[in-house]
């Protein structure tokens, strides 16, 4: 148990706090001075790089994550239990899976949802480009890493903590939320959405309960927001995955479809769906996961709306920014096209 006070924001951290935090983590060092800069593109959390000066086994830089300073986004993080989930992941689940994540020096949260994560700096790694998308090489790497998240705990019913199982939203409640928010989504982005894309937003809403209820196979720990903004390529690791604030217990193919559908140019994705999914499927077999290729493909197609659903809901409940608007449009458009290409609505209807 740490004796460190919990800072409410980056301004609450000083050199003495950093020194004690490092020593509690097993790093023998003293911080004598530091500077800070804001990094990343997150909307629900705030990421700060600490550049350190001092003595001993001192890392040159660390990254701290805190609640968003935007009151709307912060309240969303509190209401959706995002901050609690991320701290829980690093405290209790990181060691149970094999996906590459940054080293965590300190993780703490209080009853008022003030939290801090201090982690290794993944520089000179580069954050994935959500707007520009990724190439196939990066896609293959992400799909392999995804198998290392799902495989170790596939079908593991001990993942029963309320912070994970509470993400299994009641289908009726989820549909009510989607139906409430989707008209505002279409209205806000009317000039940027094609008639075909608007029709897909409505079709997904119409069949949302079937979409949520059709999968009856083994479940696993899923990231929910497995996309390029939450990935760091290069640096200490070929790929490290961050932002574990939405974790749930559900169908692994949700993450797979969400990533591919939101991350690749639609033309490139359409030529490569099976190849990318095969990379994930083959890596899963290393964990003796029992799923046929036919079921893997079926639920990959079934979950194609995942990115569209996220774009519709998230865009309406976090603070609006220009970059956020561009991001949600990219996610929605790519995912809508994936649904068309894979005949997803028909697959959902068939159950």
Give percent of the chain above pLDDT 70. 98
Shared domain for 107 and 164, answered yes or no, is no
Shared domain for 169 and 255, answered yes or no, is yes
Shared domain for 78 and 131, answered yes or no, is no
pLDDT value for 65: 96
pLDDT tens digit sequence for 86-126 = 999 999 999 999 999 999 999 999 999 999 999 999 999 99
Q: Which domain holds residue 101?
A: 10-120
Distance CA 234, CA 279 (A): 20
Q: Is residue 2 part of a domain?
A: no
Is residue 42's pLDDT more than 80?
no
Q: Give the lowest-confidence range in 75-84, 95-104, 148-157.
A: 75-84
Q: Is residue 153 part of a domain?
A: yes
pLDDT value for 167: 59
Shared domain for 230 and 341, answered yes or no, is yes
pLDDT value for 143: 98
Q: Is residue 5 part of a domain?
A: no
pTM of the model: 0.94
Q: Is residue 149 part of a domain?
A: yes
49 pairs with which residues across the strands? Answer: 37, 63
Residue 36: give its domain's CATH number.
3.30.200.20
pLDDT value for 73: 87
Distance CA 304, CA 257 (A): 5
Shared domain for 109 and 169, answered yes or no, is no
Work out the pLDDT band at 277, boundaries 50, 70, 90. very high
Q: Is residue 3 part of a domain?
A: no
Among 104, 120, 136, identify where a domain stops. 120
Question: Crossing angle of helices 266-285/322-341, nearest 10°?
Answer: 80
215-to-184, 211, 253, 291 alpha-carbon distances in Å = 29, 8, 10, 13
pLDDT tens digit sequence for 221-244 = 999 999 999 999 999 999 999 999
pLDDT value for 144: 98
pLDDT tens digit sequence for 60-74 = 999 999 999 989 889
Distance CA 33, CA 31 (A): 6
Shared domain for 182 and 266, answered yes or no, is yes
The DSSP H or E segment spanning 41 is: none
Shared domain for 105 and 58, answered yes or no, is yes
Among 77, 97, 120, identify where a domain stops. 120
With H, G, I as helix, E, B as strand and everything else as coil, classify residue 43: coil
Per-residue exposure over 219-251, b if at least 16 CB sit within 10 Å of its own CB, e if not: bbbbbbbbbbbbbbbebebebbbbbbbbbbbbb
Q: Is residue 322 part of a domain?
A: yes
Total length of the chain: 351
Q: Is residue 28 part of a domain?
A: yes
Q: What is the mean pLDDT of the chain?
A: 95
Shared domain for 84 and 206, answered yes or no, is no
Shared domain for 195 and 137, answered yes or no, is yes
Shared domain for 151 and 17, answered yes or no, is no
With H, G, I as helix, E, B as strand and everything else as coil, classify residue 115: strand
Nearest to 235 by CA among 99, 133, 127, 143: 127
Among 120, 144, 160, identify where a domain stops. 120
- Report the relative pairing of strands 126-127 and 104-109 from DSSP bridges: unpaired
Long-range contact set of residues 339-343: C-beta below 8 Å, sequence gap at least 24: 339/200, 339/204, 339/304, 339/305, 339/308, 340/196, 340/200, 341/266, 341/270, 341/273, 342/273, 342/300, 342/301, 342/304, 343/301
Q: Is residue 1 part of a domain?
A: no
pLDDT value for 263: 98
Instruction: Say how many domains are in the chain.
Output: 2
Work out the pLDDT band at 319, boundaries 50, 70, 90. confident
Look up tokens 């083994």; give the residue.
218
Shared domain for 219 and 328, answered yes or no, is yes
Look up tokens 């170790």; give the residue.
152
Residue 150: give its domain's CATH number.
3.90.1200.10
Nearest to 107 by CA among 95, 123, 122: 95
pLDDT value for 268: 96
pLDDT tens digit sequence for 154-209 = 999 898 787 887 655 578 899 999 999 999 999 999 999 999 999 999 999 999 99
Shared domain for 116 and 130, answered yes or no, is no
């Amino acid at each position: 148990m740490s004796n460190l006070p919990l800072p409410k924001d980056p301004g609450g951290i000083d050199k003495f706090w950093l020194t004690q935090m490092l020593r509690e983590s097993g790093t023998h060092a003293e911080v004598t001075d530091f500077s800070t800069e804001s990094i990343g593109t997150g909307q629900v959390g705030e990421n700060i790089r600490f550049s350190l000066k001092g003595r001993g086994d001192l890392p040159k830089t660390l990254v701290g994550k805190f609640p968003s300073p935007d009151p709307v986004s912060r309240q969303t993080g509190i209401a959706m239990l995002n901050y609690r989930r991320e701290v829980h992941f690093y405290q209790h689940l990181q060691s149970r899976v094999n996906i590459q994540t940054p080293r965590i020096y300190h993780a703490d949260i209080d009853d008022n949802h003030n939290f801090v994560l201090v982690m290794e700096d993944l520089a000179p790694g580069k954050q994935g480009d959500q707007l520009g998308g990724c190439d196939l090489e990066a896609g293959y790497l992400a799909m392999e890493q995804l198998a290392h998240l799902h495989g170790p705990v596939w079908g593991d019913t001990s993942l029963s903590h309320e912070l994970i199982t509470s993400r299994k939203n009641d289908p009726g409640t989820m549909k009510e939320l989607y139906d409430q928010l989707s008209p505002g989504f279409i209205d806000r982005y009317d000039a940027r959405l094609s008639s075909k894309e608007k029709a897909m937003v409505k079709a997904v809403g119409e069949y949302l309960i079937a979409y949520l209820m059709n999968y009856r196979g083994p479940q696993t720990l899923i990231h929910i927001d497995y996309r390029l903004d939450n990935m760091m390529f290069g640096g200490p690791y070929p790929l490290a995955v961050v932002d574990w604030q939405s974790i749930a217990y559900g169908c692994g193919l949700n993450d797979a479809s969400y990533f591919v559908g939101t991350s690749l140019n639609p033309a490139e994705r359409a030529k490569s769906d099976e190849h990318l999914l095969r990379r994930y499927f083959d890596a899963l077999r290393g964990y003796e996961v029992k799923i046929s290729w036919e079921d893997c493909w079926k639920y990959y197609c079934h979950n194609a709306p995942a990115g569209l659903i996220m774009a519709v809901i998230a865009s309406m409940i976090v603070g609006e920014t220009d970059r956020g608007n561009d991001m949600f449009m990219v996610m929605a458009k790519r995912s809508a096209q994936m649904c068309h290409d894979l005949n997803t609505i028909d697959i959902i209807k068939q159950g």
